[in-house]
């Protein structure tokens, strides 16, 4: 079941299409990647979801019914551009914003103490926001976004400004939110994060949807029948077994007298046939299919659909 749907969304600015019949279907309890190069239309769609702006046409659904302003209480939004008041003290600001989201002062304080200790920022409670680093401010705003436990979270480049240790900590928190049933829309340029976190993606370019589906299905769709063989033995023995059906596209030495070969199936053959062909000639230590990364798929798909002028 979809928690959120956008159907055939159109939006133009000064006669230029920002979104052209874009649809997304966000399954409940999933992490949904919203991807695309700069200027593709992602931010416009996020603004429409948050009712910052309205679509020219199309339908938005929340929990299977028409999406209204009353549903905003069930949404948490972490924008890429931070919106904290620089001159306010951190504690005063988070408590104020938590109460705006409907929490009582006591509930807000109880939850804030837990999160500030967890993120190791309790000592910054009395500091002014302007004293925070970008990563520290990001932690504070992340807490504000999730504190009222919304059903749908929208993260726009949530790991920006973090070192690898803190980025990994935040990724674990995102996965924990998903485990507890929260639905997440995740906009990013970091394709490694997409690999780690996302169940489904939509890729937008030139204001149009150019790729959508589950991450698993998309990787299967773009695979090239290339297999990795890690082995011990004479590499010439492997080369001798190659024919019109199989082609070594890369052969590299590894430590401990091992080798790695990337072999492409040139005809409609089963991988088991390749394995049977070589297993008596070399000592196979690893045999696996090489699937393309999401970064490779992103670059390939966008390159085949070059960017034209659009507005975010």
pLDDT at 73 over 70: yes
> Can you give the residue range of the structural domain that contains 271?
224-284
Q: Which two tokens stand for residue 190?
A: 């970091």
Give pLDDT tens digits for 153-196.
999 988 887 888 999 999 999 999 999 999 999 998 889 899 99
Cα separation, 210 vs 268, whole angstroms = 28
Are the beta carbons of 264 and 308 closer than 8 angstroms? no
Residues 183 and 273 in one domain: no
Higher pLDDT, 81 or 155: 155
Of 167, 200, 220, the one marking the end of a domain is 220
Higher pLDDT, 304 or 98: 98
In the block, tokens 């680093």 appear at 133
Cα 275 to its chain centre, rounded Å, is 35
Residues 140 and 233 in one domain: no
**What is the percent of the chain with per-residue pLDDT over 70, rounded to a whole number?**
97
Query: Pick from 241, 229, 239: which is nearest to 271 by CA?
Result: 229
pLDDT band at 306 (very low <50, low <70, confident <90, very high): low
Cα separation, 22 vs 7, whole angstroms = 7
In this prediction, residues 289-299 reach a mean pLDDT of 94
In this prediction, residues 287-300 reach a mean pLDDT of 94
In this prediction, residues 10-32 reach a mean pLDDT of 95
Range 171-174 contact pairs with CB under 8 angstroms and sequence separation of 24 or more:
171/196, 171/197, 173/142, 174/31
Assess if residue 305 is contained within a domain. no
Are the beta carbons of 247 and 263 closer than 8 angstroms? yes
Assess if residue 308 is contained within a domain. no
Cα–Cα distance list, 212 to 11, 113, 203, 217 (Å): 20, 40, 6, 10
Which residues, 6+ apart, have CB-to-CB distance to 243 below 8 Å?
A: none
Model confidence, pTM: 0.87
pLDDT band at 82 (very low <50, low <70, confident <90, very high): low
Domains: count for the chain: 2
Q: Which two tokens stand for residue 129?
A: 């926001």
In this prediction, residues 198-212 reach a mean pLDDT of 94
Residues 88 and 189 in one domain: yes
Give pLDDT tens digits for 102-130.
899 999 999 999 999 999 999 999 999 89
Q: What does the CA dihedral 55, 58, 62, 65 come to, rounded to 10 degrees? A: 130
How crowded is residue 86: how many other Cβ atoms within 10 Å of its Cβ?
12
- Write the CATH number for 175: 3.40.50.300
pLDDT at 229 over 90: yes
pLDDT at 312 over 50: no
Cα–Cα distance list, 224 to 79, 139, 158, 212, 220 (Å): 37, 40, 32, 19, 9
pLDDT given at position 305: 73
How crowded is residue 14: how many other Cβ atoms within 10 Å of its Cβ?
5
Which residues, 6+ apart, have CB-to-CB distance to 284 below 8 Å?
A: 229, 230, 231, 275, 278
pLDDT given at position 162: 84
Of 176, 199, 220, the one marking the end of a domain is 220
pLDDT given at position 309: 39
Give pLDDT tens digits for 45-60.
999 999 999 999 999 9
pLDDT band at 133 (very low <50, low <70, confident <90, very high): confident
Are the beta carbons of 98 and 147 closer than 8 angstroms? yes
| DSSP 8-class letter at 68 | -
Assess if residue 201 is contained within a domain. yes
């Amino acid at each position: 079941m979809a928690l959120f749907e956008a159907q055939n969304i159109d939006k133009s600015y000064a006669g230029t299409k920002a979104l052209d019949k874009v649809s997304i279907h966000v399954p409940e309890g999933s992490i949904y990647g919203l991807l695309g190069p700069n200027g593709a239309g992602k931010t416009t769609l996020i603004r429409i979801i948050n009712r910052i702006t309205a679509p020219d046409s199309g339908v938005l659904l929340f929990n299977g019914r028409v999406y209204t302003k009353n549903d905003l209480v069930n949404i948490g939004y972490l924008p890429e551009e931070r919106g904290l008041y620089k001159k306010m003290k951190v504690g005063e600001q988070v408590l104020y914003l938590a109460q705006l989201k409907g929490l009582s002062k006591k509930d807000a304080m109880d939850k804030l103490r837990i999160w500030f200790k967890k993120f190791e920022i309790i000592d910054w409670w009395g500091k002014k926001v302007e004293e925070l680093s970008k990563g520290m401010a990001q932690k504070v705003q992340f807490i504000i976004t999730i504190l009222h436990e919304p059903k749908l979270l929208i993260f726009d480049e949530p790991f920006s400004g973090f070192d690898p240790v803190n980025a990994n900590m935040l990724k674990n928190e995102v996965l924990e939110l998903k485990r507890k049933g929260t639905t997440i829309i995740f906009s990013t340029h970091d394709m490694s994060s997409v690999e780690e976190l996302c169940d489904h993606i939509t890729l937008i370019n030139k204001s149009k949807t150019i790729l959508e589906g589950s991450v698993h299905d998309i990787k299967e769709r773009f695979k090239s029948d290339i297999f990795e063989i890690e082995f011990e033995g004479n590499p010439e023995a492997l080369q001798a077994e190659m024919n019109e059906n199989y082609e070594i596209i890369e052969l590299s030495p590894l430590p401990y007298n091992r080798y790695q070969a990337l072999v492409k199936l040139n005809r409609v053959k089963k991988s088991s046939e390749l394995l049977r062909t070589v297993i008596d000639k070399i000592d196979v230590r690893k045999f696996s299919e090489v699937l393309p990364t999401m970064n490779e798929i992103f670059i390939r798909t966008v390159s085949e659909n070059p960017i034209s002028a659009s507005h975010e």
